[in-house]
Structure 1
Amino acid sequence: MKKANIIIKNNAPFSLDFDDYYFNSSDGLSESKFIYTNAFDFENKQTIVAELGFGIGLNFFLTLKRFLKEKKHNQRLFYLSFENFYIEKDKLREIYKKLGFYEEFKEVLEQFLNFYPPCKDGVYRFYFQDCFLDLVFGDAKENLQNLDFKANIWYLDGFSPSKNQDMFDDNIINDVAKNSKINAKILTFSSASVLKKALINNNFQVQKIKGFRKREMIQAIFNGLEFEDKFAYFNTPSLKKEIQKIAIIGAGIAGASMAYELSLRNVQVDVFEKENSLGKGASGNINGILSSLILKPDVLLGEFSQYAFLEASRFYRQILNLIPQGVYEFAHNELMQERFDSQKDNVLFEIINNQAFLKDGFCIKPQELVKTLLQKSKARVFFEYEFKDYSYKNEKFFLNFNNQKILKDYDVLIYAQGADVKNFLEYKYMKLSSVRGQCTHLKPFLKNPHALSSKGYICPINEELNLQLIGASYDRLNQDTTLLKNDDLQNIENVKEFLHDENLEIMGGKVGFRSYSSDRFAIAGQAYDENFYMQNYKALLWHKNKNQVMPNDFIPLYFSIAHGSRAFASAIVCARVMSSLIFDEPRIKKEFLHALHPARFLIRKLKKGLI
């Protein structure tokens, strides 16, 4: 991503990159309102606005303020804005002050700046009241092709076509069309013939109307267009029904983050936990670390780990007001050192020799975090409800529990269990493993302000409990729930590089079981019809580069599972994935969606002709 060269010229922001003004120098607010933010009606339930060129964010803040003023009960706004020229947050604040806009937008602007992301390509979510901003950093064309959403309204912002023709050509408008609902409305200051021609070529009905202090400008309506999709098997059909009640199985971080995200959609959420309280499973450690894998660039698992880490960090700051203390990662072998060396220019990692400092990292208290998310969600939590199975009749789920009554009339069911989720899945090619992990609780021995992670990890002292956690063992074969002395000793051995002559005193520990998939990605998405996939995609070995049929409608059963040891990062992103699929909202990048999709294991076999 590039950094913007921006100055104030004639009392307006001026781009040295494009030799053009961001907006009208004499009355920028009125111009934006006339062309964009007051030129449409909000949908009754959910409006998706997409914008090419976030700039200084003026269109967004005006749209947000209008939405907050006019919104009715159960209305939501999603706003996606694409930007490839980064403006530092202090510079943004300075621009608003110089333009005289700061006081008018101070509240929402400062909320935005508090969680402003680094200069790194990505899709960054901001939470406002019933409004979600996805700020998309990076090349617009690439991101338009790699995101999946259907906008109601488009702001074709940016600079004039003569200065920035790439943003108005036929290729970009084709990508705009792919991400538009039927009857989506195009709003733009421009009346350029190149834009009009591109819109007509992509089946937009174009009209010219009076412009803002100019003769005319374009508006357009999308009439629809057919598009090929060679990855249709990773698509999720929209639910064609009203969603009122959702059941979540599991009250760990996957279930709690899901409950919170769904609560923002005004639905009833019930969470079912087999234990008699929170914190009995893998989410129940006294401390944990929020960090990221450091793999070589362009390794998808590493890219997703970074994205999930940063978005989880931003989420905990926005929603729970937590403050990151930072985490130190250490390269403890040659392979890891090569990875560290390859990431020296990554803004997420401050790397010196074999040390990487992740300033957005946390030492978290899992039990408190899960409890707070569930409280904020206002979900009903049912303890000692051990899930047995379900039936699905008349588009409703009926849930069976051991030693409890049947509960019914759920529109959606979500599996968010830990390691025992494999007992409820019957997919032949979805291989899950249950990995035993034992943490060790020590009498405080090291005053480290940051979490330290190498072969093992050391959390800062838990002052409330007067304990210090180290960990964690990793055992695929052992399913013993009791604490093992050898695991404690191995945990101590794994952190010996941080030790001197400390006299370590073991005070206890905790055993948990983590669920992993065979490719180490979490599994997030809707259940699929295995027979349909086997029948309709059986020729993928020969036809994988051809247009594919859409999957059939299937029961609204969803998974947020197999998060492994990094659930406090991946569960946050997967909660967004689930909400986007259930409510037909803007989704994360397709490369990540495909990597998380429950059918990916089967699709790989079919592509290789192994079935």
Structure 2
Amino acid sequence: MKKAKIIIKDNAPFSLDFDDYYFNSSDGLSESRYIYTNAFELNKEKTIVAELGFGIGLNFFLTLKRFLREKKDKQKLFYVSFENFYIEKEKLREIYQTLGFYEEFKDWLEPFLQAYPYCKDGVYRFYFQDSFLDLVFGEAKEKLQKLDFKADVWYLDGFAPAKNQDMFNEDIVGLVAKNSKKDTKILTFSAASILKKSLLAHGFEVQKVKGFKKREMIQAIYKGLELEDKFGYFKTPSLKNPPKKVAIIGAGIASASLAYELSLRNIQADVFEKKDSLGKGASGNINGILSSLILKPNVLLGEFSQYAYIEASRFYRQVLNLQPQGVYEFAHNELMQERFDSQKDNVLFDIVKHQAFLRDGMCIKPQEIVKTLFKKSGANVFFEYEFLNYTYDEKFTLYFDRERVLKDYDVLIYAQGASAREFLNYKFMSLSSVRGQCTHLKPFLKNTHALSSKGYVCPINDEINMQLIGASYDRLNQDEQLLEEDDKSNIENIKEFLHDEKLEVIGGKVGFRSYSSDRFAIAGQAYDENFYLQNYKGLLWHKNKVQKRPNDFLPLYFSIAHGSRAFASAIVCARAICSMIFDEVQMENDFLYALHPARFLIRQLKKGKV
């Protein structure tokens, strides 16, 4: 990700990197409407628009404005845009004001700028009314390879081909084809022969039409076939029909975030919780910390932790209006100090010696977040419904304790935390239930930020005059009762933050967190183990060849094994599951594959051990 060198020239934004204008200097709005945002039909229940070259976002805001003006009933807009030249948010606002566009777009521009990400590669989600923007920072070629979606419309708007040939070459167009469906429409200002040849070579029918204040420009329609890849075993089969009725087992943050995301797609979920109220499980702590692991660069677990953390922080800002206070992480041993030293240039972490300040971290109130998300979702939450089993015959029938039976669910999602392992019977999926005890103390430290080292200290909770520290980690003990020795251990783990304070324990809470053997969450569709054993048994010898895709699995999904960082990972996993159910823009494949329920079996197959 590079920082854009941009100036205003002839009353239009001008790129010093490409020696070219971002759009027509005399009539940018009309140009964008003519070439892109008004040049296709907006009549589907779900429209996916993809763009090469986000620039100042003008095409997006014009598309959003048109969509909100014309949309009917349950229509949704998904917009995914790629950009490798970062414009600071203050500069973006200044450009809109200078060009006289600010007042027209400020109702969308300001929320966008409030959630605007740092100059760091990634895929960043923005929420608007019935609309989702995924802003993709990084090299287009790399990101197009890592993302899977099927656009209805493509805007190719990456400066003139003569100035930016890399954006219009055959490699890029081939990846555009990979992320297109039959009859996807290509829109561009260009009439360059290099682009026409690239489109024809990758299955597009090309025509030239009248351009904007120029003789002609290209439009194209994709007529090619869907392309297979060597990671077919990680692909999720599409549902035959969009779901109408969804059941979720469990009522913690994994469930609440799913219920909220489903509600944005006009689905009111039924949620079943075996306890008698919210907040009885691991998501029920009075306070908690939203933070990130700090591992060495290019360690996938660390990269995912960063991604989940920053996206959760942005989600809570956009959806719940929570404001980060920041979190201090401390390196309490030599290995952690090495990790801190290796991440000194990471924009997410302000690292000085053994201390890292995470500006987007926050002390959260888990119970309130879960409760608010369920309220916003409109989900039906059923308490004291202990899930026992299901049967499936085109629809799910669910069986609960006290001989209660509910029918006709199109989709079932397991999000019940540590108890999920009781319902899973996969040979190589290893899940553990880890006991964690938080300690509630009479206020003793006036810290304005959460502090995290070997243990952590939340700021004082003024509403109940309490300060939370934690948390123990015990794989062997399944005792639900508070233990005095755990309180002592929690206090010992925060001793670096103490002076001569006298600490008074006034309570605590025990929760059970679920972990997988590789520390990643498990998010995705249930898989048929026999299908995998039969179709991928030769992966040891041909793992780099094209693999058959699953085509008809049970519409059962998992959002489990989130461990102690569920309030980060549950948010992106809810999006991932919805993207699978509704055929939307998915997260980057590196992360998606690391979360896939079948990953444990795939590893064994690749080693020839099955």
Distance 2:279 2:122 in 1: 33
CA deviation vs aligned residue, 1:529-564 (integer Å, no higher than 9, x gap): 000000100110001011111113111000000000
SS of residue in 1 equivalent to 2:80: strand
Give the alignment of 1:198-217 within 5 angstroms: 198-217=198-217
CA deviation vs aligned residue, 1:337-362 (integer Å, no higher than 9, x gap): 00000000000000000000001001
In the superposition, the TM-score normalised over structure 1's length comes to 0.99
1:342 matched residue in structure 2: 342
Contact conserved, 1:541 with 1:606, CA < 8 A, in 2? yes
2:498 matched residue in structure 1: 499
1:171 matched residue in structure 2: 171
Distance 2:415 2:5 in 1: 46
Distance 1:94 1:197 in 2: 39
Distance 2:228 2:359 in 1: 43
Give the alignment of 1:228-247 within 5 angstroms: 228-247=228-247
Distance 1:315 1:226 in 2: 33
Counterpart check, 1:283 vs 2:274: no
2:113 is aligned with what amino acid? L
CA deviation vs aligned residue, 1:364-392 (integer Å, no higher than 9, x gap): 01001100000000000000000000011
Distance 1:364 1:412 in 2: 31
Counterpart check, 1:194 vs 2:159: no
2:470 matched residue in structure 1: 471
Contact conserved, 1:522 with 1:563, CA < 8 A, in 2? yes
2:402 is aligned with what amino acid? N
CA deviation vs aligned residue, 1:293-331 (integer Å, no higher than 9, x gap): 000000000000000000000000000000111000000
1:443 is aligned with what amino acid? K
1:489 matched residue in structure 2: 488
1:480 matched residue in structure 2: 479
CA deviation vs aligned residue, 1:183-216 (integer Å, no higher than 9, x gap): 0000000000000000000010000000000000
2:78 matched residue in structure 1: 78
Distance 1:405 1:344 in 2: 56
1:302 matched residue in structure 2: 302
1:462 matched residue in structure 2: 461
Contact conserved, 1:532 with 1:552, CA < 8 A, in 2? no
| TM-fit CA distance, 1:111 | 1.3
| TM-fit CA distance, 1:242 | 2.9
Distance 1:43 1:383 in 2: 40
Distance 1:133 1:317 in 2: 16
Counterpart check, 1:559 vs 2:558: yes
1:195 is aligned with what amino acid? L
Distance 1:512 1:124 in 2: 31
Counterpart check, 1:550 vs 2:554: no
Contact conserved, 1:363 with 1:450, CA < 8 A, in 2? yes
Give the alignment of 1:192-591 within 5 angstroms: 192-393=192-393, 395-591=394-590
Distance 2:429 2:3 in 1: 43
Distance 1:555 1:608 in 2: 27
CA deviation vs aligned residue, 1:492-528 (integer Å, no higher than 9, x gap): 0000000001100010111100000000000000000
Which ranges of structure 1 fall in alignment gaps of 5 or more residues?
none
CA deviation vs aligned residue, 1:139-172 (integer Å, no higher than 9, x gap): 0000000000000000000100000000001110
1:450 is aligned with what amino acid? H
SS of residue in 2 equivalent to 1:67: helix
2:376 is aligned with what amino acid? K
Distance 1:557 1:224 in 2: 31
Which ranges of structure 2 fall in alignment gaps of 5 or more residues?
none
SS of residue in 1 equivalent to 2:182: strand
Distance 1:23 1:247 in 2: 47
Aligned residues: 610
Worse-superposed segment, 263-272 or 184-193: 263-272
CA deviation vs aligned residue, 1:274-296 (integer Å, no higher than 9, x gap): 00000000001110000000000
Distance 2:239 2:371 in 1: 30
Contact conserved, 2:181 with 2:226, CA < 8 A, in 1? no
Contact conserved, 1:327 with 1:361, CA < 8 A, in 2? yes
| TM-fit CA distance, 1:226 | 4.8
Distance 1:484 1:557 in 2: 37
Distance 2:200 2:513 in 1: 53
Counterpart check, 1:602 vs 2:596: no
SS of residue in 2 equivalent to 1:196: helix
Distance 2:118 2:268 in 1: 36
| TM-fit CA distance, 1:404 | 4.9
SS of residue in 2 equivalent to 1:332: coil
Distance 1:233 1:36 in 2: 36
Q: Which runs of 4+ in 1 moved over 2 A?
A: 225-228
Distance 1:560 1:211 in 2: 48
In the superposition, the TM-score normalised over structure 2's length comes to 1.00
